[in-house]
Structure 1
């Protein structure tokens, strides 16, 4: 190993001398000796460093990590339009005379939810649209999809599978039962399109960081990764500064795991962050939740997400699936407990993800 390193040094010096000394000789004595010596020293030093760097893994890793921190993101203008959807929430005509005290699964069953993108020329030009089962299956064909997080991520998983497999109600009933086993992981292979999907129960951001470490150890990476956590931290830790800190740690793990540059983006997975839903404090179903998860705390946590620079909008690696905007615009009629929202919210989030993927692929 020492001989190899010595050889690299000698080779670097020889190359530097060839590059520097020959032009110096040709230049003759038209330049001062001091200028010649200074220029030669700089070039020789740079050449030696370039040849030595690959021989020291720690130096190489450091250079790689530093160059990866500043993520170049020449965002398509179309990406900024994807999250701008509007909602129409109206009373369900078939239930208008139904007694509210009778056996409905939740109060939001009384309202129909419809959403879409505004019919503007910009949206049409970007070809942003609701994708069908066929379109979604084609985009995720032969993909490994990992969705990790808390109950929001579980609902997102259900919505994605419902889009792809919803034509088979019996199969979806079986999936729903298995997926919603308390605090458990879930895996499924959709053989029709060669897609593998893993849901990973990860209620804390630290769980997500450990997942990144596991990917790196196994050298196995998903094609699509959707993550989101924060509600448990808000309830049980209730410290926005700590939340920002763990998000920064997660960002570091993600950045070290995947290559981020415009040249390499086509090789990188599609990475998404599920934002925190808007919390309606008066509807939360326990005293602890109402006390710990106030509007002020929610805004503190939202600012912590921005401060962590985890999202692409702030120079990070993950695109935001804007659950805060979706839940705010849908409103109180779209939730039964002030925290968990109607499946329509997550169906919309799935469509956001798919449109992000399409637009990102069109750029390369």
Structure 2
């Protein structure tokens, strides 16, 4: 698959479709060198201002934000934006749910019903191509931080860069290792490898997103071990490591943070059956935040 690049013609077409979201866009060769205007920076800080309604099923909408014109992507708009792209997601079940939300946006419901069983095979990888749009989506089961570190090293070694990289971990570490400090050390290694992807000059680099941990509803967790180890205090400690280790761009890190924690708190405990995995509306919101941020960062 050839490298993905948004032409000016395509970008102007997208601007019209998205009701003049942005004008004269061009994707830079490296997100490390984004130069955002003050208004763009302000809008990036407002991505997660979501309003929720809880009459079943849960639904979300953008909160009103002056001078920030966020739009929900249709299948047509998302397909045009991502045409020719290689999308690589790696992580635990939260990353898998984000991939499902992306496929629900790109495919019609009958197609989703045929791919969902394969996507949710326990502890497995998943791969799909959409030949009519030249889109390739890969999900790699990578529950531990070391899995992600080795993936980034492999990308750097092969110089076969995805166009969109979605990463996230922490739940397995919290359950099976239960040590925030060790989690933070592992995050530092991920950050170092991610930054190294941005360093070679003259190369095309991926847009990189990090998935925050969801709000855990302890009373709904489905095993006693989870209830004992995955407490609110432990979740807070793990979230603190993400910020203190400088993973998000707001902390000089390489990743745009998709704040699943904030989105799940907004949707609320009625949006989860097992206290950890949430209604699809949460991950649909995350995908729309991701696509909008790609446009704004390309201003």
After superposition, the CA RMSD in angstroms is 2.0
Displacement after TM superposition at 1:226 (Å): 0.4
Q: 2:97 aligned with 1:160, yes or no?
A: no
Report the counterpart of residue 76 of structure 2 in structure 1: 134
Is 1:82–1:352's contact at 8 Å kept on the other side of the alignment? yes
Match of 1:118 among 63, 73, 92: 63
Aligned residues of 1:283 and 1:337 also touching (Cα < 8 A): yes
Whole-Å separation in 1 of the counterparts to 2:167 and 2:234: 21
Alignment partners' CA distance in 2, 1:114 and 1:241:
36
Residues 217 and 276, structure 2, Cα contact 8 Å, conserved in 1:
yes
Does the alignment pair 1:193 with 2:136?
no
Matched residue pairs, number?
A: 266
User: Structure 2 unaligned runs (5+)?
Assistant: 1-31
Q: 1:260 to 1:72 in 2, by over 3 A?
A: farther
Instruction: Give the CA deviation at 1:146.
Output: 0.3
- The alignment status of 1:143 with 2:88, answered yes or no, reads no
SS at match of 2:41: coil
Name the counterpart of 2:4. Answer: none
Structure 1 match to 2:288: 351
The alpha carbon displacement at 1:260 in A equals: 9.0
Query: 2: distance between equivalents of 1:73 and 1:183?
Result: 39
- Unpaired stretches in structure 1, ≥5 consecutive residues: 1-69, 91-110
1:237 pairs with one of 168, 171, 177: 177
* Aligned counterparts of 2:104 and 2:34: Cα–Cα separation in 1: 35
Deviations, residues 12-47 of structure 1 (Å, cap 9, x unaligned): xxxxxxxxxxxxxxxxxxxxxxxxxxxxxxxxxxxx
1:319 aligns with 2:259: no
The corresponding residue for 2:221 is: 284
Q: Give the Cα separation in 2 of the matches to 1:184 and 1:129.
A: 33
How far apart are the structure 1 equivalents of 2:253 and 2:196?
A: 12
When normalised by structure 2's length, the TM-score is 0.85
Q: Name 1:211's counterpart in structure 2.
A: 151
Could you say if the C-alpha distance between residues 71 and 135 of structure 1 is closer, same or farther in structure 2, counting changes exceeding 3 Å?
A: closer
Whole-angstrom CA distance in 2 between matches of 1:113 and 1:187: 29
Query: Shift in Å at residue 119 of structure 1?
Result: 2.7
Q: How do residues 41-80 of structure 1 correspond to structure 2 at under 5 angstroms?
A: 74=36, 76-80=41-45
Cross-structure match for 1:89: 54
What is the correspondence of 1:229-308 to structure 2 with a 5 Å cutoff? Answer: 229-259=169-199, 267-308=204-245
Give the conservation status (yes or no) of the 8 Å contact 2:161–2:204. Answer: no
Call closer, same or farther: CA 1:216–1:126 in 2, change over 3 Å. same
Q: d(CA) in 2 for partners of 1:299 and 1:86?
A: 23
What's 2:247 paired with?
310
Query: C-alpha offsets along residues 230-284 of structure 1, whole Å, 9 cap, x if unaligned?
Result: 00000000000000100001000011122399xx8x9432110010000011111
Structure 2 residue matching 1:82: 3-state secondary structure: coil
Shift of 1:161: 0.5
> Is the partner of 2:208 in helix, strand or coil?
strand
Alpha-carbon distance in 2 for matches of 1:348, 1:76: 20
| Structure ranking higher in helix proportion | 1
Give the Cα–Cα distance (whole angstroms) in 2 for the partners of residues 355 and 214 of structure 1. Answer: 28
Q: Give the Cα separation in 1 of the matches to 2:188 and 2:103.
A: 31
Q: 1:227 to 1:218 in 2, by over 3 A?
A: same
Q: What does residue 5 of structure 1 align with?
A: none
* Residue of structure 2 in register with 1:173 after alignment: 113
Secondary structure at the aligned position of 1:351 is classed as helix
User: Which whole-Å CA distance do the structure 1 matches of 2:265 and 2:239 have between them?
Assistant: 14
